[in-house]
């Protein structure tokens, strides 16, 4: 089994040494030098708090790489949690709860596309999603996928191989309406064409 390659960045030498020791002792993990980030599978960041400077680091990292981030932090509030999640943080470990087992579990989860959040943070995230659905998406006819019910219906029929005329007939829309729906969703999501739109929706589990 291939080892998960990790790059560690910490706010102080003591934290770096402690976390490095935990990671190096794990049989399924290889700890790389900071300069070898391009070869990594997962990034582990350790900070006292999510200060403005730390957020800048997260944002810059998210722009430079698509790697998932495991964040070790003393404390984090709801708005900071959302900022972290927006910048590829997929696992958060409170500093006081860090152990070899929990750190390795978080890294392995991140490497396989999963995530790890303390139970109270999961609750906060779910409440935020609920507010987003109620206050922003629903009033605009959207759902969590960012698509309207009409767009989802059109995409499903496109995935079935139907052309514009067939889609219009099945949904009782005009052909112009169907074309406008397709144009609007491809333009909004920056998709190249109909095939790209269907592939995007299928990968995202929207249809």
Quick: pLDDT tens for 17-43: 999 999 999 989 999 998 998 899 999
Q: What is the pLDDT of residues 130-156, one digit of tens each?
A: 666 677 666 766 655 667 788 888 888
Distance CA 5, CA 159 (A): 38
The H or E element containing residue 203 is helix 194-203
């Amino acid at each position: 089994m291939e080892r998960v390659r990790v790059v560690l960045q910490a706010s102080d030498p003591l934290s770096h040494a402690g976390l490095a020791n935990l990671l190096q002792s794990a049989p399924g993990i290889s700890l790389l030098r900071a300069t070898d980030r391009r070869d990594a599978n997962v990034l582990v960041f350790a900070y006292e708090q999510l200060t403005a400077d730390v957020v800048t680091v997260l944002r810059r990292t998210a722009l430079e790489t698509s790697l998932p981030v495991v964040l070790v932090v003393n404390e984090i509030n709801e708005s900071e949690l959302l900022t972290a999640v927006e910048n590829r943080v997929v696992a958060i470990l409170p500093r006081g709860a860090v152990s070899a087992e929990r750190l390795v579990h978080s890294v392995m989860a991140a490497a396989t596309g999963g995530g790890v959040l303390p139970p109270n943070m999961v609750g906060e995230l779910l409440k935020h999603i609920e507010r987003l659905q109620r206050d922003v998406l629903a009033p605009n006819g959207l759902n969590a996928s960012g698509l309207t019910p009409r767009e989802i219906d059109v995409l499903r029929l496109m995935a079935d191989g139907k052309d514009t005329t067939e889609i219009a007939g099945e949904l009782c829309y005009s052909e112009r309406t169907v074309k406008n729906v397709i144009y609007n969703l491809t333009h909004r999501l920056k998709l190249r064409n109909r095939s790209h739109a269907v592939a995007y929706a299928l990968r995202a589990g929207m249809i």
